[in-house]
């Protein structure tokens, strides 16, 4: 209750300050801002977007309303966001899902409904590496065990993902390519069902994200073998990265904010400043880090650069996958 009063107080004070500051600078925003989330309600991504919205409100002085427009791995909402008037009042939640969906369309010789060039990157606030997980009583105790066994039986180890060509499938393909391994894939619908399959030993391994995997690891239901990222995680300092074993693979789930291209530069600048403030805000950091994620801020230019790099990696993997995929 105390917290709530404090929050309301902060919003009030911030709103007062904002009304004064904004007189000299851009006259934006003067009405509520819509934040399109192209993913269905309830996932980690949705909650992080809502946390962003609730904190950004106090810096913007206007309500930020999250609207879920899910469909076609984010393409329905992404298209709506790309086609919105470039006035700063309709923003879009960007994530690695965009890159996944767009590159998959391109790899199959189709024209994606929009690309990252239809957006201006405002900034991103998380970047979680995937974790390689196996059932707790699996024979594999270390990443070396796992790689050794997988090498001896190519195409026999089975993994699950939360969806085809999505953020828990592609990291495995990237990893497999880097390590020269072959696996068999069973797609599930969503990360929850896939985790159930790992715990219930219906599959041999999977790659999932820290907030959902770590509690299960702590309760001895599954084992984390490696972090598929550049450095170890603060919360599990004993778990090595795949790079330490010489496998050059990394894949991150990131969440950020995008504006339609042609949005006036002063507005973009203001949104970028505010996103930075949000990423440094204590209450926002709490909301992201308590579930086991880490706030990792990239400003607009860094995010645009990252997306370019990510697109290249994913495009290369998708091109190979598209060759194997059944033709229509």
The residues binding another protein (CB under 8 A) are 1, 3-4, 7, 40-44, 46-47, 50-51, 53-54, 67-72, 75-76, 79, 104, 113, 158, 163-165, 184-190, 192-193, 195-197, 199-200, 202-203, 211-212, 214-216, 218-221, 283, 286-287, 290-292, 325-326, 328
Of 216 and 279, the one with the shorter C-beta distance to another protein is 216
Tokens of 140: 């594999």
Q: How far is the CB of 231 from another protein (least distance, A)?
A: 22
Of 13 and 72, the one with the shorter C-beta distance to another protein is 72
Measured in whole angstroms, the distance separating CA 245 from the mean position of its chain's CA atoms is 25
Of 64 and 249, the one with the shorter C-beta distance to another protein is 64
Return the axis-axis angle of helices 265-280 and 282-289, rounded to nearest 10°. Answer: 70
Q: How far is the CB of 196 from another protein (least distance, A)?
A: 5
Of 78 and 260, the one with the shorter C-beta distance to another protein is 78
Of 189 and 262, the one with the shorter C-beta distance to another protein is 189
Q: How far is the CB of 183 from another protein (least distance, A)?
A: 12
Q: How far is the CB of 202 from another protein (least distance, A)?
A: 4
Q: Give dist(CA 30, CA 23) in Å, integer.
A: 11
3-state SS, residue 194? helix
Q: How far is the CB of 130 from another protein (least distance, A)?
A: 18
Q: Is 170 in contact with 314 (CB distance < 8 Å)? A: yes
Q: Is 192 in contact with 168 (CB distance < 8 Å)? A: no
Q: Is 268 in contact with 98 (CB distance < 8 Å)? A: no
Q: Give dist(CA 264, CA 87) in Å, integer.
A: 7
Tokens of 189: 């619908």
Of 71 and 264, the one with the shorter C-beta distance to another protein is 71
Reported as half-sphere exposure (CB side, CA atoms, 13 A), residue 9 has a value of 6
Q: How far is the CB of 103 from another protein (least distance, A)?
A: 13
Q: Give dist(CA 174, CA 177) in Å, integer.
A: 5
Of 70 and 264, the one with the shorter C-beta distance to another protein is 70
Strand boundaries in 63-220, DSSP class E: 64-68, 90-95, 119-135, 158-161, 184-187, 205-208
Q: How far is the CB of 120 from another protein (least distance, A)?
A: 23
Which helix or strand (DSSP H or E) is residue 197 part of?
Answer: helix 191-199
Q: Give dist(CA 186, CA 178) in Å, integer.
A: 21
């Amino acid at each position: 209750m105390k917290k709530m009063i404090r929050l309301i107080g902060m919003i009030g004070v911030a709103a007062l300050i904002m009304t004064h500051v904004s007189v000299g600078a851009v006259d934006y925003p003067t009405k509520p801002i819509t934040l399109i989330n192209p993913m269905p309600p309830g996932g980690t991504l949705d909650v992080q977007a809502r946390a962003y919205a609730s904190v950004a409100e106090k810096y913007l002085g206007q309500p930020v309303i999250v609207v879920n427009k899910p469909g076609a791995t984010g393409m329905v909402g992404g298209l709506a966001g790309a086609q919105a008037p470039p006035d700063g009042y309709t923003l879009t939640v960007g994530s690695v899902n965009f890159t996944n969906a767009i590159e998959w369309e391109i790899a199959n010789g189709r024209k994606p409904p929009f690309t990252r060039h239809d957006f201006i990157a405002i900034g991103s606030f998380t970047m979680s590496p995937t974790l390689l997980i196996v059932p707790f009583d699996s024979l594999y105790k270390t990443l070396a065990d796992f790689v050794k066994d997988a090498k001896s039986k190519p195409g026999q180890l089975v993994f699950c993902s939360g969806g085809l060509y999505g953020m828990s499938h592609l990291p495995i393909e990237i990893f497999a390519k880097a390590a020269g391994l072959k696996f068999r894939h069973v797609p599930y619908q969503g990360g929850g069902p896939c985790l159930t399959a790992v715990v219930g030993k219906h599959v041999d391994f999977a790659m999932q994200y820290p907030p959902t995997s770590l509690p299960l690891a702590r309760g001895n239901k599954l084992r984390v073998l490696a972090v598929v990222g550049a450095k170890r995680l603060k919360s599990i300092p004993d778990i090595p990265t795949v790079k330490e074993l010489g496998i050059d693979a990394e894949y991150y789930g990131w969440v950020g904010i995008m504006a339609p291209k042609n949005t006036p530069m002063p507005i973009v600048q203001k949104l970028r400043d505010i996103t930075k403030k949000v990423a440094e805000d204590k209450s926002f950091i709490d909301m992201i880090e308590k579930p086991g994620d880490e706030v990792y801020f990239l400003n607009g230019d860094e995010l645009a650069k990252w997306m370019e790099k990510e697109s290249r990696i994913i495009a290369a993997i998708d091109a190979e996958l598209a060759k194997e995929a059944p033709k229509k």
